[in-house]
Structure 1
Amino acid sequence: MKINELKGRSAHLTNLNNINVIMGRNGAGKSRFLRDIEEVTSQNKQLFYFRYVSPERAGSFKRDGSVLTNMSNDPTWLRQVRAVNQANNFKAASAMLFREAETLYLRRLASTPEIRMDPTRNFQTDRLSKVNQLLTNISLEMGNADFEFRSLTDGQLVIPDQISSGESEAVALASEILYFFDTIDPAKTNILLLDEPDVHLHPDLQARLGKLIIAMLDEFKSYAESIAVCLATHSSPLVCSLADSQYVSIGTKSFAVDTVELKPTSAELRKVAPFFGHPLSLSLSEDAALILEGEDDERVWQQAARTSQGRIKVFPVLAGSVDQQGELETFCVNLLDTLYDNPVAFSLRDGDGVVDQPLEHRPPIKRYRLQCYAIENALLTDPCLAVMGTTWEGFVAAALKWEAENQGHADRTLINELAESNDRLRHKKIKKVRQLVCAVLECKKPWEVVVGQAIGALTNEDLASSNMLIDFLGAEMVSDIIFRNGA
């Protein structure tokens, strides 16, 4: 049964999808929000099947007699102990649930001819392999009496207490997810609440966990209308691993705001996903997103970053048009504060003939307009000409010589206009002849490489003195982006 919203006493989650990502900074109340929904809605067992996975998952992934006794004697015991952030023996309970999931899968196998008749489908391929895709040093295998861990290096048995916290976390989470899907009730709305599933996981593991959830939804897509996975996180790798899926919607939980409106993942998220999915962005590498209007600008800034040998710390994010650039700006404004404590990002637009009309910043995004028509116009500045081994006077002489030798060339008029201009056609479109300029000067480098190398070679001394390239790019933009850290 398809529902559109979930309500607690105060929490309100709207526009549900199959996977619902609730983002927000620490202290925004994401855990309280999920617990509020779980506490109220789980009381209606006629309509809902609920499972809640708490954010702190203690213990070891091994069967525990006392846990088994508590689970057997009191059906509400597991829910009660997981209703708080610190859940003791969480992983021991996960181990019990995974053993139960094996039984449930085998029953399903026996009663489902299309699975039973497929030689590639069994518990090993459909369940254990999904757990092991999250592991890099060990594997979970079926032993004689129970599941056991084996080293991938030498095949030796590894006791659960000795595996890493991240591996233990991954196995427990996978077990909880698999158990939920193997126990869904098609007659009810099935809700899985995952509270910060990324805790203790390496960024790559966080991304793999997202793919596991999508894989399980694919397997149970015939029941899709009755399934909603709600996860609270501020993990960019996890979110971006989900970004391309039609199952996913995203909402932001803000402090003291108890309504989260979910929206389907958009083209904007898919474009910025490579940046936000990069686990070192804005933490170790200090890369900042730089939203650019087209592929030409992207290639220029990639070259500039390479030439600067790491001094220019930007991650180009490509928009396909001015309108899409605006959409990306809006998307990032709403998202950045949920991911980083001191976010910074930039957006750079073409001048398009507009002069002396700076763009207003949209914190945390700083927005700039090139002080020339487009990035290729910078090709005619003195620093770029120097990269090609010449000067403006040298270009004019070479252009006049080229004109005389190419009377019938379609772009002869524009080259002539360029050579005779007083401002190097700074605010005029020269896209048609940008690579021709390099050819006229017998430069074998692509024009994007020339401009990128010139930008990457700029220094603080250039910023303090007269520099034509900085003038064309815009002094404020150069200061903020290229010399962001005073380098």
Structure 2
Amino acid sequence: MRIHELKGETAHLTGLNNINVIMGRNGAGKSRFLRDIEAVNSRSKQLFNLRYVSPERAGSFRRDGNVLTNISTNPDWLRQTRAVNQANQFKEASAMLLRQAETLYLRRLARTPEIRMDAARNFETDRLGKINQLLTNISLEISAEDFEFRSLHEGAPVNPDQISSGESEAVSLATEVIYFFDTIDPAKFNVLLLDEPDVHLHPDLQARLGKLIIAMLDEFKSHSDSIAVCLSTHSCPLVCSLADSSYVSIGTKSFAVDTVELKPTSAELRKVAPFFGHPLSLSLSEDAALILEGEDDERVWQQAGRTSQGRIKVFPVLAGSVDQQAELETFCVNLLDTLYDNPVAFSLRDGDGVVDQPLEHRPPLKRYRLHCYAIENALLTDPCLAVMGTTWEELAAKAIQWAGDNPTHRDSAIVQELVGSADRLRHKKIKNIRQLVCAIVGCKKPWEVVVGQTIGALAKEDLTSSNMLIDFLGAEMIRHIIFRGAA
């Protein structure tokens, strides 16, 4: 049973995939959106098997007799207590669900020969093993009567009240995900609504939770037409851990807009993912994404960052073509405002012979065009020539000699044209001779290193003096990207 949309009283979620990521800023109404969908569709018990996981999940991961009684006597108790932002005794209920998940797995094992005949598969490996992949200091194990936590360092039992909030959160969420999949009803459309599952989780755990969801979908892919996991999040690590999966679509919940259109994760997200998603470096730094057209530009800006010793705070995002650069620009414009309060990103395009036609900014994305044909043209500016230990006059003299010594060389004509050029071929393609220029003047550095080192060495004072490199690259771009935030 494949359903492509979910509707509440006002909420409308379209383009459903197996994993559906809803992003949006605080106050955009993501929680209300999911609860609206849950409230309406949970009434259709013949059509839906639906579970909602609230964003604030209180309690301790231990069995509680009162919770067991409430679950047993009132089939709607669990749903009713979780249809709020802050759910009391959430983790106690999760502990009860893990016991039920064990029973369900054992029943499935008994009726599924291919699982039963595989000696490597059992409840410990298929279920507890997945939970323990989210833990680093403790493990969840089967004891004589129940489940218990054990320290990975001392091997001693650990009271559930003594484990960290993040570990407790991870175990509870993993249990909820596992229980959902183990209670899938193939005759219904099964929906799991996870409201901000990243809350209280370390970024690495957020990423691991994404992998757990994918692993469970892989296990139940024969039922994929009847499964939809919908999660709202602010978490870059969680989104990016899902980015490469074909199961995933993403949409943005905006203020006062109750329709979220989901679209499959794309090449754009996969390219931007390293910038947004690494939990302990880029996503926590002050780097801004810098969308570039090609690998040459990427190498230049990477070198510029190294040379500047961290003063240039950009993360190159490689597009690969003009068309894909436009797609990446649109993707970042739509995504950045859902993640940050004061976002900024940049896009830098080749000049390609276009003169005096600046690009229009698309806030929060600032767009620039080089004031020369391509980044390698900067190699012929005086500052880059100085890095190579030469001057324009010396290059011209050596180029004339080289052309005379190599009259039949395929690039002899353009080298001679360069020498006679009044603007150093500023708006002409010189890709074929960029490394040749280095060789002619006896520079052993790759041209990208030369240009990158020169950019990285720029000082703010260069903006007010005559500097050919800044003229070729564009003063506004240099001011906003290289000296961003400088006094």
TM-score by length of 1: 0.98
Cα distance in 1 for partners of 2:479, 2:282 equals 19
Aligned-partner Cα distance in 2 for 1:355–1:279: 41
Determine helix, strand or coil for the equivalent of 1:10: coil
Aligned twin of 1:192: 192
Matches within 5 A, 1:280-359: 284-359=284-359
The C-alpha deviation readout for 1:26-71, integer Å capped at 9, x for no partner, is 0000000000110110011011001110000111111112111111
- Could you tell me how far apart the structure 2 residues matched to 1:373 and 1:391 are? 21
Q: Distance in 2 between matches of 1:252 and 1:441?
A: 53
**Matched residue, 1:121:** 121
SS in 2 for 1:211: helix
**1:408 Cα deviation after fit:** 2.6
Match of 1:176 in 2: 176
Which has the larger displacement, 26-35 or 271-280?
271-280
- Residue equivalent to 1:424: 424
User: Match of 2:433?
Assistant: 433
Indicate yes or no: 2:120 matched with 1:81: no
Given residue 228 of structure 1, which amino acid in structure 2 is its aligned partner? Answer: A
Partner of 2:446: 446
In the other structure, the counterpart of 2:148 is 148
Secondary structure at the residue paired with 1:296? helix
Give 1:127 deviation, angstroms: 0.7
Deviations 1:146-191 (A, max 9, x none): 1111122222221111111111111100000000000010000001
Kept in 1: contact 2:54–2:195 (CA 8 A): yes
**d(CA) in 2 for partners of 1:41 and 1:84?**
16
**Distance in 1 separating the partners of 2:51 and 2:283:** 34
Distance in structure 1 (CA, Å) of the matches to 2:283 and 2:191:
34
> In 2, Cα distance between the equivalents of 1:269 and 1:186?
32
Deviation at 1:282, TM superposition (A): 7.9
Question: Residue 255 of structure 1 aligns with which residue?
Answer: 255
Residue 21 of structure 1: how far off its partner (Å): 0.8
Are 2:56 and 1:52 equivalent residues in the alignment?
no
- Measure, in 2, the Cα distance between the counterparts of 1:435 and 1:119: 60
Q: Counterparts of 2:390 and 2:157 in 1: how far apart (Å)? A: 69
**SS of corresponding position for 1:421:** coil
AA partner of residue 320 (structure 2):
G
- Tell me the equivalent position of 1:458: 458
Aligned-partner SS, 1:335: helix
Supply the distance in 1 between the matched residues of 2:324 and 2:288 (Cα, whole angstroms).
19
Decide whether the 8 Å contact of 2:277 with 2:283 is kept in 1. Answer: no
In structure 2, what residue type is equivalent to 1:117?
Answer: M
Are the structure 2 counterparts of residues 328 and 281 from structure 1 closer, same or farther at C-alpha, using a change threshold of 3 Å?
Answer: farther
Number of residue pairs aligned between Structure 1 and Structure 2: 487
Match of 2:104 in 1: 104
CA contact (8 A) 1:9 1:37 kept: yes
AA aligned opposite 2:4: N
> What residue identity is the alignment partner of 2:193?
L
Tell me, what secondary structure is at the counterpart of 2:232? strand
Report the Cα distance in structure 2 between the residues aligned to 1:430 and 1:275, rounded to whole angstroms. 31
**Any idea what SS the aligned residue of 2:144 has?**
coil
On the 8 A contact 1:62/1:91 being kept in 2, the answer is: yes
Shift of 1:284: 4.5
Q: Residue in 1 aligned with 2:27?
A: 27
Give the secondary structure class of the aligned counterpart of 2:418. helix
* Distance (whole Å) between structure 2 residues aligned to residue 117 and residue 229 of structure 1: 30
Secondary structure of 1:244's match?
coil
Aligned-partner residue type, residue 134 of structure 1: L
- 1: CA distance between counterparts of 2:143 and 2:418? 77
Q: 1:21 to 1:196 in 2, by over 3 A?
A: same
- Residue 166 of structure 2 corresponds to 166
Output one character per residue of 1:196-254: Cα deviation in whole Å (capped at 9) or x when no partner: 00001111111111111011001000000010101011111111111111111111111
Q: Please give the alpha-carbon distance, in whole angstroms, between the structure 1 residues aligned to 2:219 and 2:365.
A: 40
Q: Give the CA RMSD over aligned residues.
A: 1.2
Report deviation, 1:401. 2.5
Give runs of aligned pairs for residues 189-268 of structure 1, distance below 5 A. 189-268=189-268
| Distance in 2, Cα, partners of 1:120 & 1:315 | 43
2:43 corresponds to: 43
In 2, are the aligned partners of 1:249 and 1:265 still within 8 Å (CA)?
yes
Report Cα offsets for 1:74-124 as digits up to 9, x if no partner: 111111110111111111111110111011101100110010011111111
Q: What's the counterpart of residue 273 of structure 1? A: 273
1:389 match: secondary structure? coil
Rounded Cα–Cα distance in structure 2 between residues aligned with 1:329 and 1:480: 17
Amino acid in the other structure paired with 2:243: A
Give the Cα–Cα distance (whole angstroms) in 2 for the partners of residues 284 and 272 of structure 1.
15
Identify which range, 17-26 or 62-71, moves more after superposition.
62-71
1:280 touches 1:286 (CA, 8 Å); kept in 2?
no
Secondary structure, counterpart of 2:124 in structure 1: helix
Amino acid across the alignment from 1:457: A
Task: State the alpha-carbon separation in 2 of the partners of residues 420 and 148 from structure 1.
Answer: 81
How far has the Cα of 1:390 moved from its partner?
A: 1.1
Paired residue secondary structure (1:329): helix
Does the 8 A contact of 1:282 with 1:343 survive in 2?
A: no
Q: Secondary structure at the match of 2:70?
A: helix
> TM-score normalized by structure 2?
0.98
Q: Structure 1, residues 369-414: CA drift from partner, whole Å, max 9, x if none?
A: 0000000000011111111111111211221232233233211111
Matched, 1:9 2:9: yes
2:132 maps to a residue whose letter is: N
- In the TM superposition, residue 281 of structure 1 has moved relative to its aligned partner by 7.2
3-state SS of 2:245 partner:
coil
CA contact (8 A) 1:275 1:281 kept: no
> Which residue of 1 is the match for residue 410 of structure 2?
410
Unpaired runs of 5+ residues, structure 2, are: none
On the 8 A contact 2:276/2:282 being kept in 1, the answer is no
Partners of 1:304 and 1:454 within 8 A in 2: yes
* Partners of 1:457 and 1:223 in 2: CA distance: 58
Q: Given that residues 20 and 248 in structure 2 are in contact (C-alpha distance below 8 angstroms), is that contact kept between their aligned partners in structure 1?
A: yes
CA–CA separation in structure 2 for the residues paired with 1:194 and 1:171: 15
Write the distance in 1 (CA, Å) between the matches of 2:12 and 2:282: 32
Output the CA distance in 2 between the equivalents of 1:284 and 1:46: 46
Identity %: 82
1:416 and 1:125 map into 2 onto residues whose CA distance is: 70
Helix, strand or coil at the partner of 1:432: helix
Match of 1:379 in 2: 379
Cα contact 1:20–1:249 (8 A) shared by 2: yes
Given that 1:301 and 1:452 are in contact with CA atoms closer than 8 Å, whether structure 2 keeps it comes out as yes
SS at match of 1:358: coil
